[in-house]
Structure 1
Amino acid sequence: MAVDLFARSLPVWPPGDPGNATDTIIGGVHFNVTTLNYWNYTLYEGNWTLSNWSRCYLVDQPYTPPLLLTNGTFVNSTWCYLATLPSGPRANTGVGFAVAFALCLIFVLVNLTRHGKLYLPAEKRFYPIGRRWQWYWASFICATALIGLFTGIDVDRYRVVELPLVLNVFFWFLMNMGSIALVWESVRHWGSWMERQFIDPNPFVLQQTDRRGMFEFWLPLFFYLWWWLDFFLVIPRNWGAVELQRSPEQTILKAIPAATDIRFKIAPFLLFISWLTILVSLWHSVRHYEARNRGWLNRIIGFIRYVPFRFLFMIPLSLAVIAYQALAAWEFNYSPLKKDTNLVAMYVGGYVPALLLVIILCVSGFLRPNEDKELIRQRRERGTELDRELGIRHKPAWWKRVRGEVGTGDAVRDQLYRNSHRSTSICSFREAGFTTT
């Protein structure tokens, strides 16, 4: 009975030469069945690979090894985990998105230079890095998207699922987290910018230790608490189980449970709490730094009117990022963790929202001035208005040139020149017989 069970467990090999029970033909090459069985090799005709769970070789032409030694070694063999296939639709679409993210990265760096430059002394209450964080996160999104998309090229080219799929989805999850952080920092900094304009005429009108100030102190900590919890749920894990999609049975038994486990399903809810925190931050800024309206309807209308136009697009797009991640955690067929996934769902739901977030941020960055320059302009306008109220009229620029009061660039030298010129004139008058008082 034991012999019969062992015989039924042996793999079935393609027929070889007639009359030779120990011969099989694979890829046009004769191999010894006894040696193959002894070293526990199995032929997978779905992808034409030969494996014994420790070594794997390609056996279709032109990769068929010409000779099998008795010690189980193939001569001139080709390892399964190599990019031997041509690039497919997943790779080609990914290259297009990678080019778009690379262009966005250039504009992000331009905006970072433009808005991060200081024209006023740095204030302790408003750190310069606060205005730059949104551009740092935009750079992070572009960098993770580029790495993930370029490593995703080999997902189609590998005969057997391997490391490229893991890298592709690993950086995709990081890109999603960066997208939520980008929207948060944009909204948070807008509130900080509203506060800076509000207190610039009178720095003592708002205290930092009041209820409003303490709420703004704790709210970022609350946001990043859930953000980091999402990170620890998704990122530190055994990603090798995702690679186990080398046969339909293996995908069902190994890959699908790993790609839809409880940690992947909880993570979108943590990001959703962070998204709600963004709404609370936006409501808080409008409530304290914009004009108040009476009545619920007027408050809703005023809220929409005061919120920057870019947030009306960025906030729904960030929610779309979370929604697709939740869909991927429940439905494996639409998940980027699947090798032959639905590409429309993967790119439209997984990459388009992040790309649009960066594009909207860059466009708004080119339309908005540097904050220090805008604050200087506001101060100049307030000074002009105060002079007008006090009746002070400043002479035009040509007035000093007519009176010969144009400076030469050295204030001390100009003063000495005027004093010496006045002394010379007085001496000339006295020599002429005139008196001076």
Structure 2
Amino acid sequence: MAFSGQGAVGITYFILYAISLGFTLYNLSKHGIHKVGYANRRRPWSWVSLYCVTRFIGVLFSVDVARDLNHQTSASVFDFFYIVSFLFLIVAVYEFIQQWCTFAYKAHLINNPIIAADPAKIPMTRARQVLPYVFWPWCAVTFILMIAGNSFGKMSQGYKNEVLSPQLHTVSFLYLPIIIIPYVILYVSGRTFQAPKGYPYLSLLPMLPMLLMKVAYVIVSSFSYMVNPLSPTNNPAYTGLLGLLLEFCVLVLIQIRGLAMAPLKEILPETDEERGIKKPKPKAKVRSSETTRTKSNEIKMIKIEARRLNSGMTQASGSSTTSTDEITVVDEKGQETLEGPTNADGTHISLMDIATHKVERPESHSKPKARIPMIELA
């Protein structure tokens, strides 16, 4: 295997992206090849896996693994695969932003019992509504400028010992906003929607090295050219070596999903059904058959005695009242009165005493009598 003039830098690229490819293969074996890309859009690490694969293929050509190809051919192949890998990467960043905005907003609404009980009621955040109309046009314009300036491949990989022109470096600064804006959105969404303490920063940390790499990559190489255009240190492969290591750290963090993605169930509390806890059904009060039978007998006895008492009273008073649900007591003038039957000593007789045969039913009702409502012992 003959490596190109970059020597240690080329070997470093090869080793790091070989490890990244290992993480990618592990990711694919765990989640399945059918879950890559738009078949499962809610998994940004699938897009990162595609990024790793295409970037690794490009690295193979950049270090002249194919010895039968001349240097210019391998450089062109690298440019192609690096461009494709960049497309996968920006899609992954877009998906990360979308999910992060959603998670941050859902985390903010945990304290709302209605929302926590039914996450489907969570409205779409404003950041997520605006995101497609800002992110994709910016990507398109920037990408076209990169291709037009012919600086994309040369600035991303130092496979040539050429000195980049100031005009190309000027074009390269145009794509800095496309790198910075996603992180600004991440930070603002975390502060605006008040995600749980520490969560927005943990979610942001794995992405920060990528930002530092891209910024340092362009600025250092540009200033090195301004200071000494003929210095070998202006080669982006050397000036961006630290950024390369940081980028590898980002790929590892995203692949193992340690901090970059927090599952929704870790943010919203699980319901009892998700935990497998079944709510016990309320137990109905069960009365013993003996108790029920006793109460039923008592009610029947009271109704029977009430009918007898009412019949005797109406016959004694000459009233034609035939109600069987209540006892109507009338006075000597035939008008209903509130006073009930009394004993010889003047004490009132209760309906319960009559029903339970504790006292005998009065024979005469010469004294004022009252209407006594029927007692229901339900």
Compute the TM-score of the two structures, normalised by the length of structure 2: 0.53
Q: Does 1:97 align with 2:97?
A: no
Paired residue for 1:320?
213
Q: Does 1:146 align with 2:56?
A: yes
Selected match of 2:131 from 200, 219, 229 = 219
Selected match of 1:201 from 117, 123, 129 = 117
Letter in 2 for 1:327: V
Letter in 2 for 1:347: L
Q: Report matched runs for 1:187-266 at 5 Å.
A: 187-195=97-105, 198=109, 199-202=115-118, 206-208=122-124, 213-236=125-148, 255-256=162-163, 259-266=164-171
Shift of 1:136: 3.0
Determine the C-alpha separation between the residues in 1 that align with 2:251 and 2:136. Answer: 21
Shift of 1:104: 2.0
Determine the C-alpha separation between the residues in 2 that align with 1:280 and 1:130. Answer: 20
Shift of 1:92: 3.0
Q: Is the 8 A contact 2:207 2:250 kept in 1?
A: yes
Shift of 1:151: 0.4
- Cα deviations by residue, 1:345-367 (Å, 9 ceiling, x for unpaired): 34332x32322111011233599
Call closer, same or farther: CA 1:328–1:345 in 2, change over 3 Å: closer
- Cα deviations by residue, 1:303-343 (Å, 9 ceiling, x for unpaired): xx2315242232243232233034335545999xx899475
Letter in 2 for 1:168: F
Paired residue for 2:316?
none
Letter in 1 for 2:13: G
Determine the C-alpha separation between the residues in 1 that align with 2:216 and 2:5. Answer: 33
Q: Is the 8 A contact 2:210 2:246 kept in 1?
A: yes
Shift of 1:189: 0.9
- Cα deviations by residue, 1:151-197 (Å, 9 ceiling, x for unpaired): 01229979985222343355446556655554443243122234456
Paired residue for 1:361?
254
Paired residue for 1:380?
272
Shift of 1:110: 4.5
Q: Does the residue aligned with 2:139 lie in a helix, a strand or coil?
A: helix
Determine the C-alpha separation between the residues in 2 that align with 1:195 and 1:150. Answer: 42
Q: Does the residue aligned with 2:42 lie in a helix, a strand or coil?
A: helix
Letter in 1 for 2:134: F
Letter in 2 for 1:356: C
Letter in 1 for 2:141: L
Q: Does 1:131 align with 2:42?
A: yes
Tell me which protein shows more strand as a share of its residues. 1
Paired residue for 1:275?
180
Determine the C-alpha separation between the residues in 1 that align with 2:69 and 2:234. Answer: 12
- Cα deviations by residue, 1:364-420 (Å, 9 ceiling, x for unpaired): 35997865x7699712279999969xx959xxxxxxxxxxxxxxxxxxxxxxxxxxx
Letter in 2 for 1:267: S
Paired residue for 2:376?
none
Paired residue for 1:165?
75
Determine the C-alpha separation between the residues in 2 that align with 1:274 and 1:86. Answer: 30
Call closer, same or farther: CA 1:281–1:102 in 2, change over 3 Å: closer
Compute the TM-score of the two structures, normalised by the length of structure 1: 0.47
- Cα deviations by residue, 1:109-130 (Å, 9 ceiling, x for unpaired): 246459969xxxxxxxxx9844
Letter in 2 for 1:353: L
Determine the C-alpha separation between the residues in 2 that align with 1:262 and 1:95. Answer: 30
Q: Does 1:347 align with 2:257?
A: no
- Cα deviations by residue, 1:67-113 (Å, 9 ceiling, x for unpaired): xxxxxxxxxxxxxxxx8989944443333223212112123324645
Q: Report matched runs for 1:110-129 at 5 Å.
A: 110=29, 112-113=31-32, 129=40
Letter in 2 for 1:260: S
Determine the C-alpha separation between the residues in 2 that align with 1:281 and 1:85. Answer: 39
Q: Does 1:287 align with 2:192?
A: yes
Determine the C-alpha separation between the residues in 2 that align with 1:90 and 1:189. Answer: 35
How many residue pairs match? The answer is: 266
Determine the C-alpha separation between the residues in 2 that align with 1:163 and 1:110. Answer: 33
Q: Report matched runs for 1:24-63 at 5 Å.
A: none
